[in-house]
Amino acid sequence: MSEQLLIESLERYFNDEMLPEEKAYFEQMRLENPELDHMVVSHKIFMDKMAQFAERKKLMTSLSSTHDHLLEKGSIAEDQKKISKGKIVQLWHRYKKTTAIAACIAGLTALIISGVISTFGTASRQTVELLSRDIEQLKKTQDYQYSQIKEATKLPEGAVVKSGGSAFLIDGKGLLLTNAHVLKGSSAVVANDQGQEFKTSIVYVDHVKDLAILKITDSDYQPFKTLPYDLKSTNVSLGADVFTLGYPRNDITYNKGYLSALSGFDGDTATVQISLLANPGNSGGPVFNKYGDIIGILSTREANAQGVTFAIKSQEIVQALQSWQEKDTSAVNVSALKSNHNLKGVNREQQLTALRQYVFNVKAYN
Amino acid sequence: MNSDQKEQQLLRGLVENDTKAIQTIYAGNFSLIQALVLNNNGSYDDARDVFQEAMVILYEKACKSDFKLTCQLKTYLYAISKRLWLKKLKHHGLFVSNTDLSILEPVIAVEEDLEMAEKKDEEFQIMESAFAKLGEPCKSLLEAFYIQKKSMADLVEIFGYTNSDNAKTQKYKCLMRLKKLFFAQYSK
């Protein structure tokens, strides 16, 4: 029997394909021939291993195809989206206690810090507001200088004073210049330095320039023939001495300073910066040079800095008056505001005595 | 049918290489193992390998006549996978976070199964390397006959032999070479 035939017989034997007689004969041979028996045993082992190998190979193939099949079906996932979601969920589960504690500490810290800031906050607030210079929010960083006035006699009954400020005559007949923001209400009364009140009507308002003109309509008013000051339209120099009269309170108040910059808040060319301690109520007050001529009108001050006040340039006033003239024939002639420098060379006290009667206290009401 | 019987049926399906049973087991357990591996420095490929290895071990166990599963399928697969993954991590010298893997100490003893699996693995490797050393066309011929269980007539057709006897002779020669290669490793 050749070996090949023998192996074939063996396979038939293992697979139980032999006929009974053949099988009996084969088993007999195994008993008689140890060499054959050994061969049978080793081949049996080999065939078993081969079968196991085959089974396992098959299983691995079907596992792989199952994996791919399920992946396609969506029963299991390996895509990137689920990874990140899984990771996040996993991280969350791992660190949620830590996160909660951290959040509590952060919340507490925030509360404590905000408490500290609100208690000792002035210093830091200034820093913040100084930074806000960059932002074009003129109104927020500047204080309008009007005062709340409570007592009034010529006010209509039941009228509530909304705002107040100063004004000065630009025409002896009773035309007053003030800031538009002073006139918060619908009408206004003015009082002179003696406290005598006069009814007025608002004849012109320019919100852009923040200028307004009031006309005294009261019969009690005694017109002035001339005004002792000039509306100076030439440029002023840096460092020039200036002074103002106004009504931060109900009595006329004098204040002096110097021109500290040729531009206003945030580089505004319509105004100049004056180093002068102005208070709410000074708005609308005239700014005089040392000769007693008007170089501007006080309008705003910087909220964060002491003594930084802004005045609208006299050129702006002239422009406003000109545009008013174009609209209204009854307007005051700008050229009328030319005086003969009556107050030049006169000392300050005398200047003030002369000027104070032309500056009025404005009380605007609804 | 209660869940126990269901699982027994699934295992029978696994032994018989039934696609539906394999799919059911796979779909029901893979995500758990995947999460286990991913949460412990593993990749998607690692998860896949570990799970499939665990499935093979389950299969080997289920093939034994004295087989009896004493716990849930899921628990068994989890325990096996965990050990397999720990072994791989150690093998690669990777850091094992104590907290995660040890918290869920296996409630069942799988050491014996793992040892058995290791032995089977070795045999599998030997057979695989023997096949690899065999070279073509012997490798394909034997694979077709013994693994894909094709008939002699099919082999004649696929490999272009003139007749069935020729194919038989060729197969015999190849088998003898494979046997030699196999025992060269196996008897050691």
Tell whether B103 and B11 lie within a shared domain. Answer: yes
The whole-angstrom separation of Cα A191 and Cα A247 is: 10
pLDDT in tens, A42-71: 888 888 888 888 888 888 888 888 888 888
Which residue of A49, A53, A63 is in closest CB contact with B22?
A63
With beta carbons less than 8 A apart as the criterion, state whether B146 and B107 touch: no
Domain boundaries, chain A: 3-72, 143-365
Cross-strand partners of A313: A296
Q: Do the chains contact at A66 and B120, CB–CB below 8 Å?
A: no
Q: Which of residues 57-116 of A touch B (CB under 8 A)?
A: 57-60, 62-64, 66-67, 69-70, 75-78, 83, 86, 90
The total number of residues written for chain B in this structure? 188
Which of B86, B109, B132 is at the close of a domain? B109
The model's confidence at residue A243, banded by pLDDT at 50, 70 and 90, is very high
pLDDT in tens, A89-141: 667 777 778 888 999 999 999 999 998 888 876 544 433 333 333 333 344 44
Tell whether B81 and B160 lie within a shared domain. Answer: no
Residue B172: both structure tokens together? 């015999």
Q: Locate tokens 């630009």: which residue?
A: A170
Residue A170: both structure tokens together? 């630009």
Domain annotation covers residue B116 = no
CATH number, residue B157: 1.10.10
**CA-based nearest residue to A174, from A122, A116, A217:** A217
Longest CA span, chain B = 66
Tell whether B100 and B165 lie within a shared domain. Answer: no
- A·B CB contacts under 8 A: 83
The 3-class secondary structure across B137-153, one letter per residue, is CHHHHHHHHHHCCCCHH
Domain annotation covers residue B91 = yes
Residue A4 sits at the chain B interface (C-beta within 8 Å): yes
Tell whether B160 and B84 lie within a shared domain. Answer: no
Which residue of B39, B52, B169 is in closest CB contact with A90?
B39
Tell whether B60 and B93 lie within a shared domain. Answer: yes
The whole-angstrom separation of Cα A111 and Cα A105 is: 10
Tell whether B93 and B157 lie within a shared domain. Answer: no
The whole-angstrom separation of Cα A309 and Cα A324 is: 27
User: What percent of chain A stands above pLDDT 90?
Assistant: 6
pLDDT of residue A46: 82
Q: How high is the mean pLDDT of chain A?
A: 78
Tell whether B136 and B92 lie within a shared domain. Answer: no
Domain annotation covers residue B50 = yes
Tell whether B103 and B175 lie within a shared domain. Answer: no
Label residues B12-51 b or e (16+ Cβ within 10 Å = b): ebbbeeeeebbbbbbeebbeebbebbbbbbbeeebbbbbb
Domain range spanning residue B25? 3-109
Kindly identify which residue of chain B lies nearest to residue A87, measuring between CA atoms: B39
With beta carbons less than 8 A apart as the criterion, state whether A184 and A273 touch: no
The model's confidence at residue A80, banded by pLDDT at 50, 70 and 90, is very low
> What CA–CA distances, in Å, run from B138 to A4, B134, B144?
16, 6, 10
The whole-angstrom separation of Cα B39 and Cα B32 is: 11
Q: Do the chains contact at B175 and A52, CB–CB below 8 Å?
A: no
Domain annotation covers residue B114 = no
Tell whether B15 and B67 lie within a shared domain. Answer: yes
Split into its structural domains, chain B has a count of 2
**CA-based nearest residue to A318, from A350, A270, A356, A362:** A270
Q: Do the chains contact at B44 and A78, CB–CB below 8 Å?
A: yes
Mean pLDDT of A135-164: 56
Tell whether B9 and B36 lie within a shared domain. Answer: yes
Interface test with A, best of B175, B178, B180, B185 (most A CBs within 10 A): B175
Q: Number of C-alpha atoms within 13 angstroms, CB side, residue B65?
A: 0
pLDDT of residue A79: 57
With beta carbons less than 8 A apart as the criterion, state whether B183 and A42 touch: yes
Highest mean pLDDT among A10-19, A125-134, A219-228: A219-228
Tell whether B97 and B157 lie within a shared domain. Answer: no
- What is the separation, in whole angstroms, between the first and last Cα of chain A? 132
The whole-angstrom separation of Cα B32 and Cα A175 is: 91
| DSSP codes of every residue in chain B | --HHHHHHHHHHHHHTT-HHHHHHHHHHHHHHHHHHHHTTT--HHHHHHHHHHHHHHHHHHHHSTT----S-HHHHHHHHHHHHHHHHHHHTT----HHHHHHT--SS--HHHHHHHHHHHHHHHHHHHHHHHH-TTHHHHHIIIIIS---HHHHHHHHT-SSHHHHHHHHHHHHHHHHHHHHHHHT-
Mean pLDDT of A250-264: 87
Which of B109, B136, B161 is at the close of a domain? B109
Residue A136: both structure tokens together? 């074009």
Tell whether B146 and B104 lie within a shared domain. Answer: no
Which of B48, B77, B109 is at the close of a domain? B109
**CA-based nearest residue to B188, from B129, B123, B108, B135:** B123
The whole-angstrom separation of Cα A325 and Cα A331 is: 5
With beta carbons less than 8 A apart as the criterion, state whether A50 and B127 touch: yes
Task: Please give the CATH topology (third level) of the domain spanning A143-365.
Answer: Thrombin, subunit H (2.40.10)
Highest mean pLDDT among A10-14, A29-33, B37-41, B54-58: B54-58
